[in-house]
């Protein structure tokens, strides 16, 4: 849901993933509520603008009116990859309705989230092929975004940083206790190795019934052969005419 009527906010909603847009939106709202132009100095194409902020500190944005290149003294874009409230105010005043393309990092976009995949060593690749499920890819992408945003939110405060460090450490320990690889992942790994997926239903035809009764003679053992020979001999003796 949009918080302002600024076109730049709706552009951010269109291009950014949900988590990144939430942070961008926070910057847009702060720009509207707390940031005001205090001074403007123009030298050639470069405009240097002083912007007031909530803390009372004046941030300095240098903006090239020709290339739309902007830099702010708070350096948020350089550390997080999202333009800060001060640059947003400058862009708004310059009549920019969209975030300039050089400030929309591909890794934060919905497009990147859809294309995210991995190589055999688990390293991130960009491309349509992957053996991981769409659900895992989505979770991976969202986790990356949240991790970066949380790191940025914590890095200026030791208490927050210690908390984040502990939470990530605890999560890692928990993951190790859950086992290195789940049964589902093993199946996916094997399927990717053989290049095909396991069928969900396996049908096996029953073998044809063979009638073996009377089809052959059993080989007799040595002792059975001796007994039979004795019987034959006895029969032949009985056949002698009793005269
Ligand atoms: Zn700034």
Could you please report the per-residue DSSP string of 11-72? HHHHHB-HHHHHHHHHHHHHHHHH--EEEEEEETTEEEEEEE-TTSPEEEEEEETTT--EEE
In the DSSP assignment, the letter for residue 208 is P
Domain presence at residue 73:
yes
CA of 114 to the centre of ligand 1 (A): 30
Do 16 and 97 lie in one domain? The reply is yes
Q: Which of 98-107, 113-122, 149-158, 206-215 is the least confident region? A: 113-122
Q: pTM score > 0.75 for this model?
A: no
CA of 27 to the centre of ligand 1 (A): 10
**pLDDT confidence tier of residue 9, bands split at 50, 70 and 90:** very high
Domain presence at residue 79:
yes
Do 38 and 73 lie in one domain? The reply is yes
CA of 29 to the centre of ligand 1 (A): 14
Question: Which of 169-173, 174-178, 190-194, 220-224 tops mean pLDDT?
Answer: 169-173
Do 93 and 158 lie in one domain? The reply is no
CA of 108 to the centre of ligand 1 (A): 19
Do 31 and 94 lie in one domain? The reply is yes
Domain boundary among 70, 105, 140: 105
Dihedral (C-alpha) 167, 171, 174, 176: value to the nearest 10 degrees? -130
Domain boundary among 166, 182, 198: 182
CA of 51 to the centre of ligand 1 (A): 9
- 129 or 64: whose pLDDT is higher? 64
Do 159 and 85 lie in one domain? The reply is no
Do 157 and 99 lie in one domain? The reply is no
CA of 95 to the centre of ligand 1 (A): 18
Domain presence at residue 125:
no
CA of 139 to the centre of ligand 1 (A): 30
CA of 154 to the centre of ligand 1 (A): 17
Do 11 and 80 lie in one domain? The reply is yes
- Residue % of the chain over a pLDDT of 90: 37
Do 140 and 99 lie in one domain? The reply is no
CA of 53 to the centre of ligand 1 (A): 9
Please count the structural domains in the chain.
Answer: 2
Q: 145 is in which domain, residue-wise? A: 132-182
């Amino acid at each position: 849901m949009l918080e302002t009527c600024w076109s730049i906010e709706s552009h951010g909603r269109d291009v950014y993933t949900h988590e990144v847009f939430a942070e961008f939106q926070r910057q847009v709202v702060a720009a509207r509520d707390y940031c005001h132009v205090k001074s403007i100095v123009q030298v050639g194409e470069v405009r240097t603008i002083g912007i007031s902020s909530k803390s009372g500190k004046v941030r300095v944005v240098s903006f090239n009116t020709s290339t739309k290149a902007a830099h702010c003294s708070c350096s948020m874009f350089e550390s997080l990859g999202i333009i800060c409230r001060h640059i947003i105010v400058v862009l708004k005043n310059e009549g920019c309705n969209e975030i300039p393309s050089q400030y929309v990092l591909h890794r934060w976009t919905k497009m990147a989230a859809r294309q995210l995949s991995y190589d055999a060593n688990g390293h991130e690749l960009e491309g349509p092929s992957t053996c991981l499920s769409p659900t895992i890819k989505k979770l991976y992408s969202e986790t990356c975004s949240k991790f970066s945003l949380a790191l940025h939110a914590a890095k200026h405060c030791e208490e927050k940083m210690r908390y984040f460090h502990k939470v990530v450490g605890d999560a890692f320990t928990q993951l190790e206790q859950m086992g290195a690889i789940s049964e589902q992942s093993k199946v996916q790994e094997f399927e990717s190795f053989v290049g095909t997926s396991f069928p969900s239903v396996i049908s096996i035809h029953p073998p044809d019934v063979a009638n073996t009764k009377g089809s052959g003679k059993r080989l007799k053992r040595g002792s059975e052969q001796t007994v039979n020979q004795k019987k034959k001999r006895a029969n032949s003796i009985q056949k002698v005419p009793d005269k």
